[in-house]
Amino acid sequence: MRKPRLMTPGPSPVPEDVLLELARPVIHHRSVEARAVVSEVVDGLKYAFQTRNDVLILASSGTGSMEAAVVNTVPAGSKAIVLDAGWFASRWGVLCQTFGVEPVVVPTEWGRPVEPEKVANALAEHPDAVAVFGTLSETSTGTGHPVEAIGRVVAGTSAIFVVDGISGVGAMECRTDEWGVDVLCVGSQKALMMPPGLAFLAVSPKAWGKIDAFDSPSYYFNLKLARKSMKDFTTPFTPAHTLIGALKVALGRIRAEGIEAVWARHRRMGEACRAGIEALGLELFSSRPAEGMTVFRVPGGLKDSEIRAGLSERFGITTIGGQDRLKGQIVRIGHMGYTDELDVVAGLAALEMVLGDLGFEVEPGSAVTAAQRALMGQHATPPGGIGR
Ligand SMILES: *Cc1c(COP(=O)(O)O)cnc(C)c1O
């Protein structure tokens, strides 16, 4: 028997009560009942995102919210600053080019955090930039970026700060309003304990100023239309309300645990996993790790594919390798959403056995011990938390 254990940085495991909610009969999307669910979900999303701004729901994967953010805020022919520090961040540049926007790229070495001073310099050099596009958690490298500090820099200018929070929100502290995030993009299948299929945007008044200033060449992803429909707790086109119903249950879990406890649980899982990886003598890829995943370099003499196949074939654990220029060089382990400390400890135990069988020198229990040490003396998940 192989028990399936999804340990990728999206999709991530979905709790049973959320899955069961998906089995309910389909209702009409313009009914009072459907609107009540959307209204409750919007409140729950505002809590999870720590925002009072407008929250919009799209039937798309996370990238749909990124496309909507670009096409609605920056007119063709204008300039935008792109904080390119990984495979997903580079998507901002591709999206800008797709819609005739000139990307001013601020490059950062993959695995390192964006430096806020570089953002300040870029804004000083390009005062006509309409937006700054950044990332909370760069999933290709497992790096958490200093969104709060970058937000302070952007807030003092006329530009808006657009953040890809797709794998970050729900796994890492994200105080959307306090940190000056004007547009937050989120997807359902990363840390929100949901299947893929929904995307969300939180839009500030400053961002609405940019959106209202021109006619966006968009139809399905037109945010002015979305804002108008959301006043009546619906969407311009048929909402994916079966998923939205399930999201109500997932958000109820986040509210019951408390968003700060959710962030703290991910911090503990991140610390434990990193401690275990380092105890094995493996090298962490990122100098400022994101909390929802751990990324390590494939040690010399081994292949990422054989490590991942061992974890999968023997223990049912799905992990993922590197993308683009990191292909073959790293292994990425997800621990986000419906995941707890013991999942991390079990994953490390499996990794020890797989590496040992591949001929890598491993002291059995070393990673597990280091993870346990990191977890001991830390707060347990409070009552009403994920385990209930
Ligand atoms: C997963 C991910 C995306 C892409 O989301 P899709 O749902 O695949 O469209 C974009 N950015 C980050 C940081 C991600 O983790």
Would the CB of 67 count as within 6 Å of ligand 1? Answer: no
Residue 63 C-alpha to ligand 1 middle, in angstroms?
6
Integer Cα distance of 77 and 82 in angstroms: 15
Q: For the chain (length 388 residues), average pLDDT per consecutive 10? A: 94 98 96 97 98 98 98 98 98 98 98 98 98 98 98 98 98 98 98 98 98 97 98 97 98 98 98 98 98 98 98 98 97 98 98 98 98 84 49
pLDDT at 388: 38
**Which secondary structure element, helix H or strand E, spans residue 35, and what is its range?**
helix 32-49
pLDDT at 387: 45
Residue 50 C-alpha to ligand 1 middle, in angstroms?
20
pLDDT at 378: 73
**Which secondary structure element, helix H or strand E, spans residue 294, and what is its range?**
strand 293-297
* Ligand 1 pocket mutation pick from 58, 88, 140, 172 by most atoms within 8 angstroms of CB: 88
Ramachandran category for residue 329: left, alpha or beta (phi over 0 → left; psi -120 to 50 → alpha): alpha
Q: 139: helix, coil or strand?
A: coil
Residue 189 C-alpha to ligand 1 middle, in angstroms?
9
Do the bridges between strand 293-297 and strand 317-318 make them parallel or antiparallel, or are there none, so unpaired? unpaired
Alpha-helical (H) ranges within 163-204 are none
Would the CB of 182 count as within 6 Å of ligand 1? Answer: no
Would the CB of 140 count as within 6 Å of ligand 1? Answer: no
Domains of the chain, residue spans? 5-9+259-375, 16-256
**CA–centroid distance for 61 within its chain:** 12
Would the CB of 164 count as within 6 Å of ligand 1? Answer: yes
Return the CATH architecture of domain 5-9+259-375: Alpha-Beta Complex (3.90)
Please name which of 288, 266, 259, 274 lies closest in space to residue 341, comparing C-alpha atoms: 266
Residue 380 C-alpha to ligand 1 middle, in angstroms?
30
Integer Cα distance of 66 and 157 in angstroms: 22
Q: Which atom of ligand 1 is nearest to the CA of 189?
A: 7
Does the domain at 16-256 match CATH 3.40.640.10? Answer given as: yes
Inter-helix orientation angle 259-279/366-375, to 10°: 150
Residue 283 C-alpha to ligand 1 middle, in angstroms?
25
pLDDT at 382: 52
Say what the pTM is.
0.96
* Ligand 1 pocket mutation pick from 95, 164, 198 by most atoms within 8 angstroms of CB: 164
Residue nearest ligand 1's atom 12 by CA? 166
- For the stretch 235-288, pLDDT in tens is 999 999 999 999 999 999 999 999 999 999 999 999 999 999 999 999 999 999
